[in-house]
Structure 1
């Protein structure tokens, strides 16, 4: 006999149970808030509402261990996105026949957008500048987008974008997630709007003092990001450089981990943008850290961006030298190059705006559009938007994304 558990609100569960009155299935009710910690042995089907406080990583893991089939229910787009993020097919009606014969999709479609983490090694290669511009580009067309500063060492997005850094921000959202009081409405309340051309994104600013890093624990960050997936379509996260697992060097394994926010964000990512600075020291640092990054994130897609490309620091054929070096030591072949142009970056800093907003026709903006199209799974329209003369001159260029025609700098 099939055993079905309805982890729904009491009134809704009572209505659904009526539909099973003349059927053979064994039906029970459970508290949605505690079902993830309950004993699920012997359960065949678990019906839950597709909302972050119920359908989360802890519940999915518990059901996987017990061999329980999850049937998520919702009637809104946010619920559909949340269920899809776990590879679950959504149920829009709670009729008994549909619950019993509800099946999961045969495979999970590749994630377009989702959580995008911008990381780079030490040395300020341009993580924050790229993260802000990428978020602004993803928000074009009023796509629901959020920008999060999860840097626990040197948060910079608030000051860079002219936003107040003494508001609640990301740390407040993480605390609410730990208390299980975080939802889309609360995220909207603690976020600040960032206006840009043809769209706007919501910004969760970082901690205003580096000494507050214990507030960004791995559990809090992971829980917050899971809930944020149901809040917006695309989340861009700026993280710190360090990848060391603090537990490996501390005798107290239960103590707070300084790099927990970075590691938790990277492990939650659907796409990772790895930024390197185009000079001898920057490339060397990237090569040494890239192996650690790959060991941490496994097969998560990594998009490599090399920033501040110029002949003054590497000599002739700077891009060719970088391409060959990365191919030899990291096996990276697909690279997005961004050139060195301090005037555009200084103008963006002066006006507290993103480079894509202040210089939309620059090569940097074209490169970010190409990167955004890649992570969002959209056609690359950068080439077709180029002037006719520029396209003719690029006919025989290599197939690697190269946007160094009109240079721009990442600050």
Structure 2
């Protein structure tokens, strides 16, 4: 028998529990403003479709426990889209309507071949044009996932300014994502091929498998939508965590002004957002960065319909925004984009410079930096399925900075 927690306001909660019992569903009433903790054996929870209830912590707890969330009532569909939830049931929904919703398959955010998103996950790091720091954050998130015992692939799918290979000191001869796309089109991209095409990057606690980007931006036509979609799906099956760095541009204008049957330069970004389980949306912490982010955020939500979107503001400092920089950013995002959940990353130029000097992740060369600590907190919040770190991140950084790169560039495909 299915077990359901009804956490909507009274008296409708008690009435719905009685109706569900008539339908053969075991149901109990919980407080609508604080449905946690959920009882053992719970299969689903009915909650108001409201921001104050659907918090990142609540959604993450339900994901870990395999509990399905059924939102009820509410007029703000943005909060549902942010977490990839289905449309809300009407506040007057009857017991049989709830049962019908429970028997309907949840929105598909799982990868093929039976690999669920709760065990294998694909995270896309996106940000508008203007270098908000999306590549740096993608690298640091990948390293953090390795530290937490997750097999991780870092993929550079940026067709405008691919830079992961440059930032990590990898050679241009690496076949990377372009070769993976070619193999995917031929139907020959399996786990063995991905292992052959990836370059192993030693990191704290393990190694990151890197699929480097195209060596020249002019090769963007190699990353077509269908090719990249297949390659990312294969990566999600192969690795527990796939972190994808994409460009900031979309194809909305191209569809209106060019032949839609031909290749489009930014189709790779659209394909990655379409298959993503989580999108880390990065904005620069200055007035120009906020303007660009707000302008593109609506299009991001339209494209990433199945993903849970988490907003990150990078490089926050008082200089460009005055003393209360965080307060101004929160007000701006809430007023113009309806965003209330934000993670802030500090401006740490010294750590970033050290990472550039040694061509290593910040977590390796400056593990005590404020930015590295903030990314660790971000990983725990946005990717909560990862376990505890496997090493002590507070150890000295000189050994990691001097450690040679042992990864080999795989032969071309």
> Tell me, which stretches of 5 or more residues in structure 2 are unaligned?
1-108, 395-413
Q: Give per-residue Cα distances to partners, 1:285-324, cap 9 Å, x unaligned.
A: 0000111101111252111110111111100100111011
Q: Which has the higher contact order (CA 8 A, sep 6+)?
A: 2
Answering whether residue 333 of structure 2 is matched by residue 326 of structure 1, we say yes
1:297 maps to which residue?
304
The answer for the alignment partner of 2:371 in structure 1 is: 364
Contact 1:151 1:238 in 2 (8 A): yes
Cα distance in structure 2, aligned partners of 1:379 and 1:178:
31
Seen in structure 2, the aligned counterparts of structure 1 residues 260 and 332 have a Cα distance that, compared at 3 Å, is: same
Is 1:85 the equivalent of 2:108?
Answer: no
Between the aligned partners of 1:228 and 1:87, the Cα distance in structure 2 is: 12
* 1:247–1:283 CA distance, 2 compared to 1 (3 A): closer
TM-aligned CA distance change 1:246 to 1:213, over 3 Å: farther
Q: 1:336 to 1:386 in 2, by over 3 A?
A: farther
For residues 380 and 338 of structure 1, the distance between their equivalents in structure 2, rounded to whole angstroms, comes to 22
Say if 2:148 and 2:388, in contact at 8 Å, map to a contact too: no
Indicate the residue corresponding to 2:50 in structure 1.
Answer: none
C-alpha distance 295-141 of structure 1, shift in aligned 2 (>3 A): closer
2:221 is the alignment partner of 1:195? no
Structure 2 Cα separation of the partners of residues 252 and 199 of structure 1: 46
Counterpart CA distance in 1 for 2:338 and 2:393 is: 31
**TM-score, normalisation: structure 1:** 0.65
State the partner residue of 2:3.
Answer: none
Distance change in 2, residues 1:198/1:251 (3 Å): closer
* Structure 1 residue runs of 4 or more that deviate by more than 6 Å after TM superposition: 379-382
| Equivalences for residues 181-330 of structure 1 within 5 A | 181-245=188-252, 247-330=254-337
Contact conserved, 2:348 with 2:371, CA < 8 A, in 1? no
CA distance in structure 2 between the partners assigned to 1:112 and 1:333 by the alignment: 28
Q: Could you say if the C-alpha distance between residues 334 and 269 of structure 1 is closer, same or farther in structure 2, counting changes exceeding 3 Å?
A: same
Partners of 2:144 and 2:117 in 1: how far apart?
21
Aligned partner of 2:152 in structure 1 is: 145
Please name the residue that 1:78 is paired with.
Answer: none
- Residue 380 to residue 147, structure 1, CA distance change in 2 (3 Å): closer
Contact kept, 8 Å, 2:123 with 2:243, in 1: the verdict is yes
- Please tell me the root mean square deviation across aligned C-alpha atoms, in Å: 2.5
1:34 alignment counterpart: none
Could you tell me whether the CA contact under 8 Å between 1:141 and 1:199 is conserved in 2? no
8 A contact 1:112–1:375 mirrored in 2: no
Structure 1, gaps ≥5 residues long: 1-82, 91-108, 388-411
- Superposition TM-score, scaled by structure 2 size: 0.65
Once the 2 structures are TM-superposed, how far is the Cα of residue 381 of structure 1 from its aligned partner?
7.3
2:144 is the alignment partner of 1:118? no
